[in-house]
Amino acid sequence: MKKRVLISTLIIGMLAVSGVFLLRGGLSGKAQTTPNAQQKKALKVNAIPASTASISRVLDLTGSVAPYRIARLASPAEGPVLNIRVREGDRVKTGDLLVSIGRKKGIDVLRASLEEELRKEEDNWKRTRQLVESNALPGEQLDQARVSYEKVRAQLARTEEMAMDYAIAAPWGGIVSRILVKTGEFVAPRAALLEMYDPSSLSIRSAVPEKHAIAVKSGMQVDVLLDAYPGKPINGRIDRVYPYLDDRLRTRTMEIALDEHVDLLPGMFARLKMQLETVHDAVVVPTQAVLFTPKGKAVFVVKEDKAVRRPVEIGIEEKGRIQIVAGIEVGDKIIVAGNERLKDGTAVIVAGGKKPGKPDPSDMAERSAGQKNKAGGKPE
């Protein structure tokens, strides 16, 4: 019996000793892996300091060349088209005959008849004046003769205007752009015959979105690039801004004049770039540093090897940069890559920098030198 108790006691003691060794080994292994686990949790990121620079709000638009002085000539009378004297591209001067309309023989005969009648009334008026002056006729006869003469003269003037309705002339000098009829076609009154424009009235016309409609002003500088002249930027300026918005497109039309002479044609395509606003000494960061979340816009700043979330207000964005109006200061180390995986307080390792939890060798050297100086010693 005593032998069994002794054996049991030995076995229990051996198990107790084994348990102690196992417990120590487990704690030692856990203590060794904890720093490695912490290092694995730290995320590697790229960061740069926030800096100041000039940044501009640039508006990119498209436009096309168009004349503001254009005429669409129509026929005041009806009849067949007898003669088209011009073609597309022809230059015409004021009063040049462009198109003739037929069926004016009746007007020509009526005009000749009225011209003859007007001569007779004029002779009658002269004879009546002589007789009245010699007291052979009363003065009322002279008034009647004058009224008859003026009536025929008015009829003749109206007939001459009607005759002009059959001959379409250029109202001013310009270029014929479109011919809308052909010889022999029968046209009705007010039917369009041709179009013409004034080449000196060509300008670049563009539509500005309502968001920027108030910002555009006459005289603002515009960089113009025409597809017809690739690689040749041209300086221009806003010559006219329309005082209303298009009801359907909600855009405001502006006209741009070029500062140098360039041959233009209606319909040319233009690319426009204009600076609406410039801020000097603005705090700027790369665009990818700003996160747009349901909670608002934010950036991550590196503080003591941790990522700290900072809500920010943004301003102008240009060429991969964005202005930070509020939320950070110049010199703050802004995370620009790897920030999409971060949370507030996440441990980070900045690429090219020291690992978290480990002192920088240069900091250690400086600290050691400082301690020796305080003790009155000299650094080795």
Euclidean distance between CA atoms 340 and 348, whole angstroms: 13
Within a domain: 84: yes
CB atoms within 10 A of CB 243: 7
| CATH number, domain containing residue 177 | 2.40.50.100
Query: Is residue 310 within 8 Å of residue 299, measured between CB atoms?
Result: yes
Within a domain: 154: yes
The residue that leads in pLDDT, 186 or 337, is 186
Shared-domain flag, residues 171 and 231: no
The residue that leads in pLDDT, 103 or 7, is 103
> Which pLDDT value is given to residue 294?
82
For residue 259, what pLDDT band results from cuts at 50, 70 and 90?
Answer: very high
Within a domain: 216: yes
Within a domain: 368: no
Shared-domain flag, residues 85 and 193: yes
Residues above pLDDT 70, as percent of the chain: 80
Shared-domain flag, residues 242 and 184: no
Phi, psi of 30 (to 5 degrees): -65, -40
Shared-domain flag, residues 273 and 293: no
For residue 37, what pLDDT band results from cuts at 50, 70 and 90?
Answer: very low
Shared-domain flag, residues 183 and 104: yes
> Which pLDDT value is given to residue 309?
86
Highest mean pLDDT among 26-40, 46-60, 264-278, 295-309 belongs to: 264-278
Count of structural domains within the chain? 3
What is the average pLDDT across 157-186? 87
pLDDT at 30 over 60: no
> Which pLDDT value is given to residue 378?
41
Q: Which residues of 249-271 are buried (b: 16+ CB within 10 A; e: fewer)?
A: eebbbbbbebeeebebeeebebe
> Which pLDDT value is given to residue 13?
59
Q: In whole angstroms, how far apart are CA 244 and each of 56, 124, 237?
A: 27, 62, 20
What is the average pLDDT across 101-118? 78
3-class secondary structure per residue, 216-247: CCCCCEEEEEECCCCCCCEEEEEEEECCCCCC
For residue 359, what pLDDT band results from cuts at 50, 70 and 90?
Answer: very low
Shared-domain flag, residues 100 and 209: no
Give the end of a domain, one of 177, 197, 217: 197
Q: Among 239-248, 250-259, 362-371, which stretch is predicted with the lowest mean pLDDT? A: 362-371
> Which pLDDT value is given to residue 156?
82
Shared-domain flag, residues 193 and 79: yes
Within a domain: 378: no
> Which pLDDT value is given to residue 158?
78
> Which pLDDT value is given to residue 364?
41
Which range of residues forms the domain containing residue 225? 60-68+201-279
Shared-domain flag, residues 93 and 130: yes
Query: Is residue 210 within 8 Å of residue 252, measured between CB atoms?
Result: yes
Q: What is the DSSP letter of 201?
A: G
> Which pLDDT value is given to residue 10?
58
> Which pLDDT value is given to residue 7?
62
Within a domain: 358: no
Closest residue by Cα to residue 256 from 68, 56, 58, 57: 68
The residue that leads in pLDDT, 230 or 302, is 230
Shared-domain flag, residues 110 and 178: yes
Q: Among 175-189, 192-206, 282-296, which stretch is predicted with the lowest mean pLDDT? A: 282-296
| CATH number, domain containing residue 311 | 2.40.420.20
The number of angstroms, rounded, from the C-alpha of 270 to the middle of its chain's C-alpha atoms is 11
> Which pLDDT value is given to residue 277?
78
pLDDT at 28 over 90: no
Within a domain: 77: yes
Shared-domain flag, residues 218 and 313: no
Give the end of a domain, one of 173, 197, 221: 197
Within a domain: 16: no
Give the end of a domain, one of 234, 262, 279: 279
Shared-domain flag, residues 78 and 173: yes
Rg (the chain; Cα; Å)? 47
pLDDT at 25 over 90: no
Token code pair at residue 375: 């003790």
Shared-domain flag, residues 218 and 188: no
Query: What end-to-end distance do the CA atoms of the chain give, in Å?
Result: 74
Token look-up 């009648």 returns 117
Q: Among 48-57, 91-100, 222-231, which stretch is predicted with the lowest mean pLDDT? A: 48-57
Q: What is the mean pLDDT of the chain?
A: 80
Q: Model's pTM, two decimal places?
A: 0.59
> Which pLDDT value is given to residue 19?
54
DSSP calls for 13-77: HHHHHHHHHHHHHHHHHHHHHHHHHHHHHSEEEEEEE-EEEEEEEEEEEEEEEEES-EEEEEESS
Q: In whole angstroms, how far apart are CA 34 and each of 20, 30, 41, 78, 353?
A: 21, 6, 11, 101, 22
